[in-house]
Chains A and B, each alone.
Chain A
Amino acid sequence: MKRLLILGAGTAGTMVANKLRPRLDEREWNITIVDQNETHYYQPGFLFLPFGGYTREELERPKRNFMPAGVDLVMGEIDLVEADDNQVKLVDGTVLQYDYLVIASGTSPRPDETPGLDGDEWYKTVFDFYTIDGAEALAHKLETWEGGRLALNVIEMPIKCPVAPLEFLFLAEAFFAERGMADVVELVYVTPLADAFTKPVAARYLGDMLKDRKIALETDFMLEQVDSENHKLISYDEREVEYDLLVTIPVNMGADFVQRSGLGDELNHVPVDKHNFLSTQYDNIFALGDAAALPTSKAGSVAHFAVELFTENFLDYIEGLPMREQFDGHANCFIESGRGKGMLIDFNYDTEPLPGKYPLPGIGPFSLLTETEANHWGKVMFKWMYWNILLPGRQMPLPALMSMAGKIQEEVG
């Protein structure tokens, strides 16, 4: 009996289990998946929670519901991958052997990495929204907040879903305008980047959208510490930004067991071949989704495209054949812009987000880098697709590799 062991039953791990179970003979292959939490969260929904968009119940499902028959789900905390012995130790002493290992343990916000961040003011005047608890606490805060200066701070890249901070600001601007608070709320985006976003064409579009909404932009701000008592962000080059309410996107790091096992980089992400996800250290270990150190966005869409290619490659690989599929870093992200509209961006390792139509050239129905109501509805419908098509490993009608069809090239000015 051969053993495929998957660490993490999140978006990537669950999809791998669902894609591979029907294609690996149950008489020859055991598939085991390990996780320490019973609940699967629809993470894209966290963004809407602070503004009353969803409730907690709408965003959670038991992980077990997404496991196909014939996959063993083990609940436990991972202690160590002993890669030289092809085994994984759990904290409770269980030892799981494997022939092939998939690390899909994600990345998570670490407020304790930044001095002053998670002290006495945590969930009083300082909030995150990338966790269900943080998003919910912020929703309660905003119900009674009387206004002031709201600073949104990205501490360090890379982060999960790199467009979510901008979406948060767009939604916040619309939320406060609707409540008649536009005059008493000042929004400021404090980022370590030199611009509103990482890629030039999209940065220009998004930068203009911030300006239109009178959202201030503080760039090249490398946060050293938070003086939470005096409500100040302090950078390494000794600049200060004052706030009344801080919404932070903490440093994101991969799981600690990755580091303990000697498989991680400086942020506990697993170095892999960016075209096929094979570990740079071991030829029977892969890393997928946010857990992998890839030069593309940490996002569910990337995990989805990656898992599709990985599935085909893995079936060849275990037969000793070369991996034919080459991942291109394809990502696409809906960007909520407030007032019932949204944008869409589609890009990969080599091509930055460009304007145009998606997925059908000239037709859409979605518009790239342009605010439309159709894009907003695409994002709303995506929740249903996530639970019912994506996680169960059914085929999505989207190509895994990026296409230039429908995209309009433009000069960066």
Chain B
Amino acid sequence: MPVATIAGADVAIDAEGFMTDSEQWTEEVGVFLAEQIGVELSERHWEVIRFVREDYKAQGETPTLRRVSTIGGVPTKELFQLFPKKPAKKMSYVAGVPKPKGCV
């Protein structure tokens, strides 16, 4: 398992760069990860990130776009504006939770 040093801390990541231990995440790490994918974080981004992290902690699974829009209250259209092209992947990347599994 590769380890990256982000904001002075060692962070475990997978082959695609997704964090594998969400406990290692800090807001500084989030800012750094967002920069990697060219996203500048606004307060609205933080709302999404906080929801994704809380929901992951409660459910044990990375939330889907529908879950973030229905339960988290941020419409899908807006998620595409905040995290262009691939919001499901990008928001979980920045929030330090596992890559969404897709479906079955």
Contacts and interface: CB of A to CB of B under 8 A. Distances in A.
B1 interface: no
A158 B77 CA distance: 20
B85 A237 contact: yes
B86 A220 contact: yes
A364 to B, nearest CB: 25
Interface residues of B, number: 17
B103 A236 contact: no
A193 interface: yes
Q: Which of B71, B77, B80 is packed against the most chain A CB atoms within 10 Å?
A: B80
Contacts of A296: 104
Contact of A198 (B61, B77, B85, B104): B104
Contacts of B76: 222, 224, 236
A224 B71 CA distance: 19
A158 B101 CA distance: 12
Given A220-B86, A224-B77, A266 B70 contact: yes
B103 A158 contact: yes
Nearest to B78: A236
A237 B80 contact: yes
Q: Which of B64, B70, B85, B102 is packed against the most chain A CB atoms within 10 Å?
A: B102
Given A266-B70, A266-B71, A295-B104, A236 B86 contact: no
A158 B66 contact: no
Q: Which of B64, B67, B85 is packed against the most chain A CB atoms within 10 Å?
A: B64
Contacts of A156: 66
Contacts of A220: 85-86
Contacts of A236: 76-77, 80
Contacts of A224: 76-77
B70 to A, nearest CB: 4
A116 to B, nearest CB: 15
Nearest to A297: B104
A177 interface: no
B65 interface: yes
A368 B66 CA distance: 33
Contacts of A297: 104
Contacts of B103: 157-158, 162, 193, 198
Interface in A72-98: none
Interface in A157-196: 157-158, 162, 193-194
Q: Which of A193, A194, A224, A237 is packed against the most chain B CB atoms within 10 Å?
A: A237
B84 interface: yes
A192 to B, nearest CB: 9
Nearest to A238: B80
A59 interface: no
B79 to A, nearest CB: 8
Given A265-B67, A266-B70, 20 more contacts: A156-B66, A158-B104, A162-B103, A193-B102, A193-B103, A198-B102, A198-B104, A220-B86, A222-B76, A222-B80, A224-B76, A224-B77, A236-B77, A237-B84, A266-B66, A266-B67, A295-B101, A295-B104, A296-B104, A297-B104
17 contacts: A156-B66, A158-B103, A158-B104, A198-B102, A220-B86, A224-B77, A236-B77, A237-B80, A237-B85, A265-B67, A266-B70, A267-B66, A295-B61, A295-B101, A295-B104, A296-B104, A297-B104
